[in-house]
Structure 1
Amino acid sequence: MTDTNWAPALTHQSGPKYLSLVRALREGVRRGDLAPGVRLPTVRNLAWKLGVTPGTVARAYQIATQEGLLEAAVGRGTFVSTQSRRLGPTEPLYRQPLTDPSDDDGVVDLRSPQLPDVGQTEALASAMAEAAQELGRQYLEYPGLRRDQYCREAALEWFSGYTISSLITADDLVLTHGGQNGINIVMQCCLRGDRPVVLCEELAYPGFRHAARLNRAEVVSIALDEEGMIPEALDAACRKHGGQIVCITPDAQNPTTARMGSARRNAIAEIARKHDLQIIEDDCYTAPVSGLESLRVIAPERSWHVTSLSKTISAGMRFGIVVAPEGMGEAGRLTAQHSYFGLPRPVTDIVTRLFTSGEAMRLRHAAQDVMSRRLQMVVQAFGDQDVSWQPGLSFVWLRLPLGWRASTFAREAEAEGVLLRSADEYVLQDGHAPNAVRIAMAGGVPEERFQRAIRRLVRLLENPPGDLPI
């Protein structure tokens, strides 16, 4: 690591000095003046050079660290993040997209589940046509806090058969632009203070940490075992770091496919009460009904249950549902209104028709049936490989055999025309990635083409490169 004498000019900057310094840090990384790995001046030295207080510099360093621009090493100093690189003048700081669909007809994309068309396009076209015939003055008005009541009442159908269904009303629901937007709304509603802390599983859906970063929160990882988040690890992290929100995927942990048992769920809820944590319960993959109580049932006073239509009906509709804790529905809807005023009227009209006609549940089950058949193909093809899965779930977790590294396997698979996700994409910046990959079901490609892609992966698994370190 090398040092830098970097000292930006802040005299012409407007606003608080610490924000001016944060902007200068961003620009320094963007232009390449601050290279990855470079050690920045100490807080006191930079404060002296700039003629500001040490507290001003410390606060700017803290914000830039939370954004991922900087890394702080105890006893060694503050460094430009090794994940940073020179950016173009219009290139965003958040470089890795949550979704990156491939338009190459020669590639089979197994990074995220691709929905089969089991009648969605026809059902959506019909619902759109019906909605168009009833256009009225309501399309000239803002959605408002209560004008989506009709859609929220219809959306209760989505929870039929789950333990949560008899305990919630339309007043508990917040309608969002998909599950990721729902997670962000909950964080906006619950995070407070200069340095909020979000606790996540050590292997977790990347959207959790992206939402936390957008809300200027520090993310702390919690160890997992075969049932998911370990209660004792969560308790220890809360005592060490504090925390305001814990993010959990109890039914279908992403990416490991783990399912949390009843005793574990109750233990997590008790620790959340002990440390006054809000819980984000991610149910966007809507695994088949397990009969286990959701965290919204176990801890209704603090659990935010997030789900969406994206994995079973339509990702393009961008429709999600947050079940707020008891008495918090209005607060959640107010946060959503401050963010985007509410969902567009065409979306709520179309989705309401899907729910009330019964089409939503029919399409959901039909799509899950197709994904289940694809899943069966994958499990049978992998044979004795170390693969974790759940019936009805649209992805598997493959631990690679001796001789393979996850990043190398992903590159070789891409060379074979198959895209998948390495474990590296699910760990925090300072976390340790296991030697594994996540493989999603592609319901949107012909079955034979999907089978060929899986056979290519099997062939790779059986022929690891002999010169890799083990």
Structure 2
Amino acid sequence: MTDTSWAPNLVAQTGPKYLSLVRALREGVRRGDLAPGTRLPTVRNLAWKLGVTPGTVARAYQIATQEGLLEAAVGRGTFVSTQSRRLGPTEPLYRHPLTDPNDDDGVVDLRSPQLPDVGQVAALAQAMAEAAGEIGRQYLEYPGLRRDRYCREAALDWFEGYSIAGQIDADDLVLTHGGQNGINIVMQCCLRGDRPVVFCEELAYPGFRHAARLNRAEVVPIALDAEGMVPEALEAACRRHGGQMVCITPDAQNPTTARMSNARRHAIAEVARRHDLQIIEDDCYTAPVSGLDSLRVIAPERAWHVTSLSKTISAGMRFGIVVAPEGMGEAGRLTAQHAFFGLPRPVTDIITRLFRSGEAMRLRHAAQEVMSRRLQMVVQAFGDQDIGWQPGLSFIWLRLPTGWRGSTFARVAEAEGVLLRSADEYVLQDGHAPNAVRIAMAGGVPEERFQRAISRLVRILEKPPLDLPV
């Protein structure tokens, strides 16, 4: 049994550091750099070498242990599992690869929804050409705190058919560089103190915790059930931790697809009122109109409704909308002004034309139709598997059958040319990840290729991987 001073280089890696470290551990075992029985550095020593927190290393060790790559011995340390073996660079994880060796499709990325082109390219090109023909002195000036009002007035059309429509006006809106930037702006506007507390769903969109970290906040997870965040759990957390803000996705919980009833939404709002919490309502995954009340309608004095065009029209335009609480629009716009001086004039000109012409809503509905067809294809393919989904939503939540772990399934799928997200990417620090994965609709991939990728995942479920404990 030998010790190692192993310390991978994570500088070039993208995504969460703990997942990068898990990938490095897998590669180290695969290449033989980490032989069976090798004792790994302690959590603190490796964290110091890599310049990350001990929690990052501990979480990576935990996932690798669950996968069977590592073994933990109480009082002795963490070791490369003696059941692990070195795999050659071309040796498959399966005895019988699922892919056709003549199928040169490349990798199919199902980690995030990919928009189909239902006319966006042509519409954007036309709007850009029209905007270019009207360039004037306004392009030489800063956007200014109120100079985007023409775009905010046009953006009100985006809420047509939703309960929030008719309850807001242009003064309530803050324009941002997409939904993630919107979340960050709200936290900058509302959080106070050296270590504010933010409450999030125990399985949550990672952008919540990234924004919280940028704003010095501690993130506290709140339990979920079939309807999303549990009000009693939020109440208990408020009594224990205090807290200034709660982040919720009531219409299409990411990643579980849960939808809150009106009764649950009112219960959450009442807890927020009792403990003076600001609410971030994430509506970036816009599903078809549900008929349910927005939290911004239920609690207009404290709810910040965040949405964007990224999942329906264009992710590249980086256009988001925050509906501020009553009387807080000016404060939100001032925060955005301090952060980036407002959206660029070309962006607001182009998007305004899409809103005013009706193209934005037409493109939105057309994209949702394509995604809905893909969704039905996936639901039918998985048959009696335990999946969470909503009509019109661009992802599903697959709860894996007994024997699989989310991280293992994602790794095997990646080896077969399909990328998806394990539950590990959504759990908060030190939280428990269920055995599940999120699969997004790839609207930009040809339908036949998308269908083959889904069929590949279905077949993977039926065949456990070679020499990988599941």
Regarding TM over 0.5, the answer is yes
Q: For 2:43, give the aligned amino acid.
A: G
Q: Secondary structure at the match of 1:444?
A: coil
Q: What is the total number of aligned residue pairs between the two structures? A: 384
Does residue 311 of structure 2 align to residue 305 of structure 1?
Answer: no
Report the Cα distance in structure 1 between the residues aligned to 2:105 and 2:336, rounded to whole angstroms. 38
Q: For 1:69, give the aligned amino acid.
A: T
Report the Cα distance in structure 1 between the residues aligned to 2:394 and 2:439, rounded to whole angstroms. 9
Q: For 2:303, give the aligned amino acid.
A: S
Q: Secondary structure at the match of 1:247?
A: strand
Larger RCO: Structure 1 or Structure 2 (Cα < 8 Å, ≥ 6 residues apart)? 2
Report the Cα distance in structure 1 between the residues aligned to 2:259 and 2:393, rounded to whole angstroms. 11
Does residue 217 of structure 2 align to residue 226 of structure 1?
Answer: no
| Alignment partner, residue 354 of structure 1 | 354
Report the Cα distance in structure 1 between the residues aligned to 2:468 and 2:345, rounded to whole angstroms. 56
1:76-87 alignment to 2 at 5 Å?
82=58
Q: Give the conservation status (yes or no) of the 8 Å contact 2:43–2:54.
A: no
Q: For 1:82, give the aligned amino acid.
A: A
Q: 1:294 Cα shift?
A: 0.4
Report the Cα distance in structure 2 between the residues aligned to 1:242 and 1:150, rounded to whole angstroms. 40
Q: Give the conservation status (yes or no) of the 8 Å contact 1:36–1:83.
A: no
Q: For 2:217, give the aligned amino acid.
A: A
Structure 2 counterpart of 1:38, from 44, 50, 59: 44
| Alignment partner, residue 402 of structure 1 | 402
Q: Give the conservation status (yes or no) of the 8 Å contact 2:412–2:465.
A: no
1:11-50 alignment to 2 at 5 Å?
37-38=43-44
Query: Structure 2, unaligned stretches of length 5 or more?
Result: 1-40, 62-103
Report the Cα distance in structure 2 between the residues aligned to 1:110 and 1:265, rounded to whole angstroms. 30
Does residue 177 of structure 2 align to residue 171 of structure 1?
Answer: no
| Alignment partner, residue 393 of structure 1 | 393
* Residues 196-222 of structure 1, C-alpha deviations (whole Å, 9 max, x = no match): 001000000000000000001000000
| Alignment partner, residue 339 of structure 1 | 339
Report the Cα distance in structure 2 between the residues aligned to 1:126 and 1:329, rounded to whole angstroms. 31
| Alignment partner, residue 207 of structure 1 | 207
Q: Give the conservation status (yes or no) of the 8 Å contact 2:427–2:433.
A: yes
Report the Cα distance in structure 1 between the residues aligned to 2:197 and 2:52, rounded to whole angstroms. 15
| Alignment partner, residue 53 of structure 2 | 69
Relative distance call for 1:238 and 1:36 in structure 2 (3 A) is: farther
Q: 1:84 Cα shift?
A: 8.8
Relative distance call for 1:144 and 1:194 in structure 2 (3 A) is: same
Q: 1:69 Cα shift?
A: 2.6
Aligned structure 1 segments of 4 or more residues deviating by more than 3 angstroms: 80-85, 465-470
Q: For 2:58, give the aligned amino acid.
A: T
Pairwise CA RMSD: 1.8
| Alignment partner, residue 44 of structure 1 | none
| Alignment partner, residue 423 of structure 1 | 423
Q: Give the conservation status (yes or no) of the 8 Å contact 1:174–1:323.
A: yes
| Alignment partner, residue 91 of structure 1 | none
Q: Give the conservation status (yes or no) of the 8 Å contact 2:179–2:308.
A: yes
Q: Give the conservation status (yes or no) of the 8 Å contact 1:155–1:352.
A: yes
Q: 1:403 Cα shift?
A: 1.8
Q: 1:405 Cα shift?
A: 1.1
Q: Give the conservation status (yes or no) of the 8 Å contact 2:105–2:449.
A: no
| Alignment partner, residue 156 of structure 1 | 156
Report the Cα distance in structure 2 between the residues aligned to 1:333 and 1:379, rounded to whole angstroms. 42
Report the Cα distance in structure 2 between the residues aligned to 1:83 and 1:401, rounded to whole angstroms. 23
1:48-197 alignment to 2 at 5 Å?
69-71=53-55, 82=58, 106-197=106-197
Q: 1:38 Cα shift?
A: 2.1
Q: Secondary structure at the match of 1:199?
A: strand
Report the Cα distance in structure 2 between the residues aligned to 1:266 and 1:401, rounded to whole angstroms. 35
Q: Give the conservation status (yes or no) of the 8 Å contact 2:59–2:430.
A: no
* Residues 358-408 of structure 1, C-alpha deviations (whole Å, 9 max, x = no match): 000000000000000000000000000001100000000000011211111
Q: Give the conservation status (yes or no) of the 8 Å contact 1:403–1:468.
A: no
Q: Secondary structure at the match of 2:112?
A: coil
Relative distance call for 1:176 and 1:105 in structure 2 (3 A) is: farther
Q: 1:36 Cα shift?
A: 6.1
Report the Cα distance in structure 1 between the residues aligned to 2:247 and 2:144, rounded to whole angstroms. 29
Q: Secondary structure at the match of 1:38?
A: helix
Q: Give the conservation status (yes or no) of the 8 Å contact 1:423–1:436.
A: yes
Q: Give the conservation status (yes or no) of the 8 Å contact 1:36–1:82.
A: no
* Residues 1-46 of structure 1, C-alpha deviations (whole Å, 9 max, x = no match): xxxxxxxxxxxxxxxxxxxxxxxxxxxxxxxxxx762289xxxxxx
Q: Give the conservation status (yes or no) of the 8 Å contact 1:420–1:437.
A: yes
Q: Secondary structure at the match of 2:174?
A: strand
Q: For 1:422, give the aligned amino acid.
A: S
Query: Structure 1, unaligned stretches of length 5 or more?
Result: 1-34, 41-66, 72-79, 86-103
Q: Give the conservation status (yes or no) of the 8 Å contact 1:423–1:438.
A: yes
Report the Cα distance in structure 2 between the residues aligned to 1:452 and 1:469, rounded to whole angstroms. 26
| Alignment partner, residue 20 of structure 2 | none
Q: Secondary structure at the match of 1:390?
A: coil
Q: For 1:192, give the aligned amino acid.
A: R
Q: For 2:386, give the aligned amino acid.
A: D
Q: Secondary structure at the match of 1:175?
A: strand
Q: Give the conservation status (yes or no) of the 8 Å contact 1:308–1:321.
A: yes
Q: Give the conservation status (yes or no) of the 8 Å contact 1:69–1:84.
A: no
| Alignment partner, residue 455 of structure 1 | 455
Question: Identical aligned pairs, as a percentage?
Answer: 85
Relative distance call for 1:354 and 1:429 in structure 2 (3 A) is: same
Q: For 1:364, give the aligned amino acid.
A: R
Q: Secondary structure at the match of 2:387?
A: strand
Q: 1:429 Cα shift?
A: 1.4
Report the Cα distance in structure 2 between the residues aligned to 1:156 and 1:36, rounded to whole angstroms. 54
Report the Cα distance in structure 2 between the residues aligned to 1:430 and 1:199, rounded to whole angstroms. 15
